[in-house]
Structures are given as C-alpha cells and as structure tokens.
Amino acid sequence: MPQNLFGLEGGPILGALFDLDGVLVDTAKYHYLAWKRLAAELGFYFTETDNERLKGVSRLRSLELLLEVGHCTMTEEEKVLAAEKKNAWYVEYLHTLDQGALLPGSREYLERLRAAGIKIALGSASKNAPLILERLKIASLFDAVIDGSLVSRAKPDPEVFLKGAEKLALAPRSCVVFEDSLAGIEAARAGGMRIIGVGRSENLPGAELYINSLHDLI
C-alpha cells in the first residue's frame, strides 16, 4: 500500500494526466489486428513484435513504420487512404470493446482520485479516445479530455499534457503523468510534470516510480 495516492515523495500533486492505450485500457491488440489486416492486403506479415514500435505513436507515423517493415512505399495520398482504411477497421473492433478491456485497477483508481479531489485529464494521441471512454463508461470520471484531434504536435512534444494541465487550471509541476510509452515519458518530462511509468524501468527510463498497472496504487 503506497504512502499516498501516488506513492511519490515531494510537493503536492493536485492533478493526474492519463495516457489511454496501455495505461487505462488495452487497445493495442485492436490496433494490431487492424494494422495486421492492412499489412496482409499489402502482401506481408506484420508481427506483434513489429507492433510494439507503434505504441503511443500517431496514426500516420504508425503507418510509415508499418511500411518500413514491409519495404513498401506510398504517395502521401495513398498513405492518407490506407490510414483511413485501418482506422475504419479499428473503429469496427472498438464497437466490441466493453468494460472488460479496462486494465486492472483503472476504474477504481480514477474513482479514488476523484473522491480525494484530484483533477483528472486524459492526454492521448488517439483521435478515437472519446469513443473509447464512452465504450468503457469512464468518460464521466474526467475533468478534461485532450485527444489526438486537439493537438498539432505528437508526443514526445509536451503539447498534449500542457493542454491537459491548462484545462485543469494547474501548474505542470503539480500534475503527475501516467505513461506506458517512451515518447510519452519524454513529453511529460519536457512539460515539467511528475511521471509514473506503467511498465519496466529498462524500457521507460525517466519516471519517478514504476507500476505494472494502476492496481498497484490501490
């Protein structure tokens, strides 16, 4: 049992900024199914290991990484169409998403923070974040939602988290970011927030504390 809600020493923390995929919910498997389907159409096999590189990365950049794996090239217009196709499949899969996809402790921890008066924001690269929150029935637990459609610069740029702190009317230093990707940890560091890494320190250097899931903080 941690000594406080965050298990961190130091100054007061008034806000929590959550990444979505890999922190609150496992949507990576649906992204993988949709990217694998696109790769199959293009004539190559896309492995789960290949998919690791796409976590936390924007949709278009993910496509570029996938094309590298298959040694394929596309014009900018073809890339837009391919990314749209992948997204349509992904959204189809999202309609099967239910509360069972929440990672351990997610709902309980969010509720606990709210009860303690901590402000909560989402800071996700995903343009589908509002749909996902709605499917998981956790949208009402957030004071602010900053998703991929509200930012112009992807993580590791701090924009998504700075906007989250601003929406909560809090200084970055009094917010903690929960992240499972290296780009996200770098974004939080650049934004001046405290950082809790969801994963292992070897893969995610730079966090103050590491947890396997939010369940560890309950």
Q: What is the dihedral of CA 121, 124, 127, 133, to 10 degrees?
A: -50
Q: Given the complex with ligand B16, which of 1 and 193 has the nearer CB atom?
A: 193
Residue 38: count of CB within 10 angstroms of its CB: 19
Q: Which is nearer to Mg ion, 41 or 48 (CB)?
A: 48
Residues near Mg ion, by CB under 5 A: 19, 21-22, 56, 180-181
Chosen residue from 6, 15, 19, 194 binding ligand B16 by CB under 6 A: 19
Minimum distance of ligand B16 from residue 4's CB (angstroms): 25
- Among Mg ion, ligand B16, none, the one that 119 touches (CB under a kind-dependent 5 to 8 A) is none
Task: Give one word for 26, left, alpha or beta, with left for phi > 0 and alpha for psi -120 to 50.
Answer: beta
Query: C-beta of 15: minimal distance to Mg ion in Å?
Result: 18
- Is residue 59 a contact point for ligand B16 (CB under 6 A)? yes
Contact between 55 and ligand B16 per CB under 6 A:
yes
Asked if 57 is part of the footprint of ligand B16 (rule: CB under 6 A), the reply reads: yes
Point out the residues that are catalytic: 19, 21
135 binds, among ligand B16, Mg ion, none (CB under 5 to 8 A by kind): none
Residue 120 binding ligand B16, by CB under 6 A = no
DSSP 105: T
Decide: is 164 part of the binding site for ligand B16 (CB under 6 A): no
Radius of gyration of the chain (CA): 17
First to last CA, the chain: 7
Residue with smaller CB distance to ligand B16, 66 or 168: 66
141-to-96, 115, 118 alpha-carbon distances in Å: 21, 10, 11
Closest CB to Mg ion among residues 38, 180: 180
Least separation in angstroms between residue 22's CB and ligand B16 is: 5
CA dihedral over 147, 111, 185, 65, signed as positive or negative: negative
CA distance 28 to 181: 12
Contacts of 47 (CB under 8 A, 6+ apart): none
The one-letter amino acid code at 62 reads: S
78-107 residues in contact with ligand B16 (CB under 6 A) are 87
- Given the rule CB under 6 A, which residues bind ligand B16? 19-22, 31, 54-59, 62, 87, 124-128, 148
